Amino acid sequence: MGARPGRRRGAARPAGRPPVPAAPSLLAEVEEAVVTRPRVYEVESSLTDLAAYQDTVAELSHVCRVSLLSTFRSMGALCEAGERTTRDGLRDRLAVAPQHGRLFDALLGLLAEAGYVRLDGDAVITAEVTEHDLQAEVDQLAARKRALLERAPDNDGLLAVLDACLRAYPQVLTGRRDPLDVLFPGGSFDLMDQIYKNQQQTNALMVQVVDAYVRERLARDPQARVTLLEIGAGTGGTSRGVLAALEPHGDRLRYLYTDLGSSFVQYGAKEYGGHSFVEFRQLDVERSPQEQGFAAGEVDVVIASNVLHATRDIGRTLTHAKSLMRPGGLLALFEITRLHELLTIAFGLLEGWWAFEDERLPGSPLLSVPMWRRATERVGFRGMRVLSGMPLREDRLSESVLLAESDGAPVDLTRAAAPAVPAVTPAPAPRPPRSRSRHR
Ligand SMILES: C[S@@+](CC[C@H](N)C(=O)[O-])C[C@H]1O[C@@H](n2cnc3c(N)ncnc32)[C@H](O)[C@@H]1O
């Protein structure tokens, strides 16, 4: 990238250096290469499978809602049918610590969606027995969990996450226990892996996208050298497969493995340093990349998996990403695009989940596919393609790979001023490297 730290915000490259030519548009080629490979749809290959999958997701939602209700009742709330209180009154009764205020509101929203409470302005009204026999719901919980596991045994890990979080809620919500200690006990990622391991199919899609792009570029231009930059690479849930796929072309590539956290960068260097074409650098995408030593306009492909939603202002974040890219460069995002109760109950414990300051899906930092489309178009990305392993309407997709290309118009980083406060790291430092196949 060549730029030195401390250069003026938005500066492109040193005087006298020729502008980098536009990258060819390859969106159509990438989409065709990926979609026509049969294995993309192999998991959810038939409508029967899809219906079964959706039933399981709905049943898991129900189990989450009843489990949450049961937890509230164990803390002494929502025990009387028709009981009336206020949000503040309930928050005080449960002694919710100030840092969990947004989570508390989101949880009330979940209980209201389930019909267990009615929210009327500031009033919180526990359901009448005639609407919902709450005790009966709680009594049936164990049986519903068993039925869910009989039907879909690989949900056991998700139920383990749910139980671990809700068991700790009385202590965590009141600020007496650190949520990191619950989600990453002893610094271990094993519990959270239960959520991430379900993302393998979408990660495989990311690998196919990047691989198809690089192959096409190199086939078209024997002189081409391709630069890729990954934002928030973490412990490499996506990078692992991408780097393995790119290895045969390594002498014509440069891959910047970056993350906000230096411990993740170090982890990446240890785990993936064997790929000679990879460099490991720190990058906070909430701040101007140029001020962090990254040159403007040189990257062909920006990759970001499960990270951009964790920033405060999506417009600013996307502007920073675009500033790194050549005109026509490809943005490849992997994002959760539909909220599930389990995400709120688990990730909602983390401060970083609530760092956002702009419009998101209600009660979460996530954006739906249409919201991503609008956000990317607003900052000058065009031609969005949406890929998924699920044959569903795009506003219903729970995980999506989103592709768009930079229109090449110069970005105005002064309008995307950096936040005054440093960004929040949403996860603890990774534990020492372990076997490659386990994490995500
Ligand atoms: C949920 S993890 C995803 C890691 C990896 N991309 C994956 O899919 O396995 C989110 C990552 O984004 C990083 N992150 C959070 N905020 C960031 C920021 N402002 N700039 C760059 N990285 C950030 C975190 O440190 C963490 O490693």
| The pLDDT value given to residue 424 | 40
Residue 265 lies in a domain: yes
Chain mean position to CA 373: 16
User: pLDDT tens digit string along 364-397?
Assistant: 999 999 999 999 999 999 999 999 877 778 888 8
Among 164, 186, 208, the domain boundary falls at 186
| Digit-coded pLDDT (tens) for 59-94 | 999 999 999 999 999 999 999 999 999 999 999 999
Nearest CA to ligand 1 atom 17: 260
Per-chain mean pLDDT for the chain: 87
Angle of helix 262-272 relative to helix 239-246, nearest 10 degrees, comes to 40
pLDDT(268) > 60: yes
- Is residue 440 in contact with ligand 1, taking CB distance under 6 Å? yes
In a domain, 21, yes or no: no
Q: How far is the CA of 307 from the centre of ligand 1 (A)?
A: 5
Count of domains forming the chain: 2
Does 160 score more than 60 pLDDT?
Answer: yes
Longest CA–CA separation in the chain, Å = 77
pLDDT, residue 135, reads 87
Distance 305 CA to ligand 1 centre (A): 8
pLDDT confidence tier of residue 39, bands split at 50, 70 and 90: very low
Same domain for 221 and 368?
Answer: yes
Residues 243 and 354 in one domain: yes
Would you say residue 343 lies in a domain? yes
412 domain residue, yes or no: no
Does residue 313 sit in the same domain as residue 380? yes
Residue of the CA atom closest to atom 27 of ligand 1: 234
Mutate to test the pocket of ligand 1, among 189, 200, 210, 259 (most ligand atoms within 8 A of CB): 259
188, two tokens:
């271990």
Same domain, 59 and 157: yes
On the question of pLDDT at 406 being above 80, the answer is: yes
Answer yes or no: do 37 and 66 share one domain: no
Indicate the length of the chain as a whole number.
440
Do the beta carbons of residue 258 and residue 281 sit within 8 Å? yes
State whether 172 and 215 are in the same domain.
no
Q: Same structural domain for residues 52 and 133?
A: yes
Kindly give the number of the ligand 1 atom that is closest to the alpha carbon of 237.
Answer: 9
Contacts by residues 87-94 (CB-CB < 8 Å, ≥ 24 positions apart)? 87/119, 87/122, 87/124, 88/122, 89/124, 90/124, 94/173, 94/174
My answer on whether 308 and 352 are in the same domain is yes
Does 73 map to a domain?
A: yes
pLDDT at residue 223, rounded to an integer: 92
Lowest mean pLDDT among 97-111, 180-194, 332-346: 180-194
Same domain for 207 and 355, yes or no, is yes
Domain span at 325: 27-41+198-406
Task: Calculate the CA dihedral of residues 354, 357, 363, 364 and round it to 10 degrees.
Answer: -60
Is residue 276 situated within a structural domain?
Answer: yes
From the number of C-beta atoms within 10 Å of its C-beta (0-12, 13-18, 19+), residue 150 rates as exposed
Both 293 and 167 in one domain: the answer is no
- Does 374 map to a domain? yes
Task: Identify whether residues 238 and 122 lie together within a single domain.
Answer: no
Distance 282 CA to ligand 1 centre (A): 11
- For residues 100 and 178, the answer to whether their CB atoms sit within 8 Å is no
| Together in a domain, 104 and 127 | yes
| Structural element, H or E, at residue 326 | strand 325-336
CA contacts within 13 A on the Cβ side of 163: 10
**47-74 vs 101-113: helix axis angle to the nearest 10?**
120
Give yes or no for residue 310 CB within 6 A of ligand 1: yes
Predicted structure pTM score: 0.86
- Verify whether ligand 1 is closer than 6 Å to residue 321 (CB atom): no
